[in-house]
Structure 1
Amino acid sequence: MASPKPLSNQVINWTGFVHKPGDAPWFHPKPNLPWPARQLLEEYSGIHPQNIHDQVLNIRNRAWDAFPFPCIGSFEFLDFQLSQRNLLYPRLLQRLQAGGKFLDIGCCLGHDIRKLVFDGVPGENLTGVELRKEFIELGYELFRDRDRLEAKMYQGDVQLGNSEQPWKELGGQFDVVNLGMILHSFAREGQIVCIEKAIGSLKNQVGTSIIGTACGAAEGEECFWHGNIPSHNTETFRALVKDLEERTGTKWEVDAKVDSSISLWNPKHTWLDPRVRGLAFEMTRLE
């Protein structure tokens, strides 16, 4: 299959859809928190069980005011999608507990980083980068760990050049980079830039990994999330990686799967296009 022609770095402007919370079908009035979220907030953050609902709602509403992403409106920043990857997550924990370095690009409120710490990863092995500084600050408030979290948190735009901060500082340091739910915010060229940024952040050696999730596509061709924003199935994602290999001179083993974790059958996603699915991927460097 021929690779689709690159598009611009166009990004979804969610504010164009939302004038107030009630206008957005992805804005949920109350949290429905799974046990892993409640456990983390009780045992890591030290929030009394009776206060968790109000704490989460307060933080969500302030994060929504900062920017109305669907993952904010539907409380998906407490779904811990990374730890739900049952085959990958135990391997990731073992690697990071043994000293591997992890970078989470687009870390939102830093929820996956806190879950990794709670599950036994030393905080000094973890780094997060988030476009919106408000989300970083709200993460410290939500998890009540400003004075004890050893992970480093940076504000940064993934579309900036490698000579810009924080990318200049972070280049070549990491064993694993996570691109969690950000690829589908960009047109195809912007998606390639995201993965190039991940490659530039990794150690220059065989065996380093890029992992991630995104809104994918059920069909055997690209469908479009909004305008020129493609959602991939396994075939089109592999085509994206092939183009990336040619641009970077690297080679990658790709494990990509499409499932119904993101779909209109999920109560949080009833507003989605029926073609949309969840895409989970793992890329391991071969050359």
Structure 2
Amino acid sequence: MSVAGATPTPNFTAVLPLRGTEALLHFDEDQLEFYKKATGIDDLDALKRHLISVQREAYAVRPYTTIVNFYFTDLGLSHVPGYRRMIELGQTRRNPILVDVGCCFGQDLRKAIADGYPQESVLGTDIVPEFWDLGHRLFNTTQETFPIPFLAGDIFDPAFLEPTPPIYTAPSTAAPALSAVRTLNELRGHVSVICVCAIFHLFDTEEAQLRLARALAPLLSFEPGSMIIGWHNGRHEKGYTEGYALRMFCHSPESWTALWDGDVFENGTVRVGARLVEKQRRYMKEGVPTIGMRTFLEWSVTRISPGAPPSLGDTTTRR
């Protein structure tokens, strides 16, 4: 829980049992193709056994909802509007550093690399380092065979990322080699893409989510096209959402746009795209596998040139 004036902490208070959750494991066509290729396991039953084994190990580390319900197998970033622009940015910009914040097992950054983002420009960070190790277990790699730098740290620890205003000019120092980076402070103003998937809704007050956004903003390069992109639970009107395992504060497209374009960055210096999407979610309810609809906010925040068109919050709900 977070308290005004204190360091925000994610709300992970709900502990859910594992019994019967193997029935929740499900792949769509894109997921199945990706996980077969990324793990090297082509047999569907063997792949499921492998993922269930990793789920059990991860649950022993942190019994999070995303672990219990196999949400860690989602490739949600690849469905967010702006994802193709992100990949194109990686293919056209010199040294297009991408930082995946709260990367968990690294599934989104691995998907981005598979889709063409340059591997040498990617870095993952998470507060739970064991998840990165389990990512190697999940994808049958090692740090040697998949040498993406990983930083373990708390985004609200000033020694890891000191809160400073966003950067509006070129940084005075060159971008460091990612293999030599030890804290996010070293990347201030050098990051072309920041990915933040299924993170903001874990901070259960509006103030805490604003602090998280402001913590991330100074990492972003001032160059037009640099972007922060992600998704999390959303609402048609901002407020608290009940009925989940956790009590969540959720933004609407309009409030999310106002947060970034004015509260975090100077008004008119970014373009925000945000839309609500209704998706099926599998979860356990009273010990029974259940399918229900959930509302998610998919979004991107992109640096723009002076005089570019303003932000437009896309309030369309897609099913």
Same fold (TM over 0.5): yes
Structure 2 residue identity aligned to 1:75: F
For the residue of structure 2 that corresponds to 1:120, the secondary structure is coil
* Partner-residue secondary structure (3-state), 1:244: coil
Q: What residue is the counterpart of 2:33 in the other structure? A: 39
Matches of 1:7 and 1:28, distance apart in 2: 41
In 1, Cα distance between equivalents of 2:235 and 2:151: 31
- The number of aligned residues is 269
SS at match of 1:217: coil
**Whole-Å separation in 2 of the counterparts to 1:136 and 1:200:** 25
TM-score by length of 1: 0.82
Q: Within the alignment, does 1:233 sit opposite 2:227 as a pair?
A: no
TM-score, structure 2 as length reference: 0.74
CA shift, 1:169, in A, is 2.5
Identity rate, percent: 23
Residue in structure 1 matched with residue 50 of structure 2 by the alignment: 55
After TM superposition, list the pairs within 5 Å mapping 1:130-149 onto structure 2.
130-146=126-142, 147-149=144-146
CA distance in 1, matches of 2:234, 2:252: 6
CA offset at residue 28 of structure 1?
Answer: 4.9
Q: Which has the higher helix share?
A: 1
Q: Which amino acid aligns with 1:32?
A: H
Task: Describe how 1:6-155 pairs up with structure 2 within 5 A.
Answer: 10-14=8-12, 16-18=13-15, 20-22=17-19, 27-49=21-43, 50-85=45-80, 87-99=81-93, 100-146=96-142, 147-155=144-152
Distance 1:69 1:150 in 2: 27
**Does residue 244 of the first structure (1) align with residue 264 of the second (2)?**
yes
Taking the aligned partners of 1:39 and 1:239, their CA distance within structure 2 comes to 38
List per-residue Cα deviations over 1:36-80 (Å, max 9, x = no partner).
333233223222424211110011111122112222111121120
List per-residue Cα deviations over 1:227-276 (Å, max 9, x = no partner).
88420111221232232236xx8832111111213xxxx2425869x996
The equivalent of 1:166 in structure 2 is: 183
Q: Which residue of 2 is the match for residue 3 of structure 1? A: none
Indicate conservation of the 8 Å contact 1:8/1:190, yes or no.
Answer: no
Structure 1 unaligned blocks of 5 or more: 1-5
**1:269 and 1:29 mapped to 2: Cα distance?**
9
In 2, the alpha carbon distance for the partners of 1:7 and 1:193 equals: 10
- Structure 2: state its 5+ residue gaps: 164-181, 307-319
Given that 2:232 and 2:297 are in contact with CA atoms closer than 8 Å, whether structure 1 keeps it comes out as yes
Q: Which amino acid aligns with 1:111?
A: Q
